[in-house]
Structure 1
Amino acid sequence: MRVLRYVDGTVVSESDLEAIARALGFSSAQRWNDYHAAAERRRLSRERNAA
C-alpha cells in the first residue's frame, strides 16, 4: 500500500488511514487502496488509447 503523508510531512498512521477510509465509505484502507490502484490503471489505459 502506498504511504500517505499529512501536509506537514508526517506519515499517516494505520489507524488514521482506516478511519479516513471508513469516513469516505470504504470498508477498509485496503479497499480504498484497491479502488485508487484500479482508477490509476484505467487512467493510464485511456491515455495510451488516446495517443
Structure 2
Amino acid sequence: MGRGRAKAKQTKVARQLKYTNHSIDYDRLREELGTDAGSEEIHPPAPSDQESERGR
C-alpha cells in the first residue's frame, strides 16, 4: 500500500499536461531547427530504375 498518493500526483500532473494551453512559437522553433519557412515540401525520394532492378 502507499501507492495512492503517488498515483494521485501522477494523475494530477497528467491532467495539467493534457488540459493546459501550451503556447508554442512555431516560427521560432523553425529557426532553431534550421528549417525553411515551409516553402519546401518533404517527399520521399523516388526509386530509380537501378533500384527497382536490384529488388527483382
Q: Which has the higher contact order (CA 8 A, sep 6+)?
A: 1
The interval holding the TM-score normalised by the smaller chain is: 0.3 to 0.5
Report the TM-score when normalising by structure 1. 0.37
Report the TM-score when normalising by structure 2. 0.34
The structure with more radius of gyration? 2
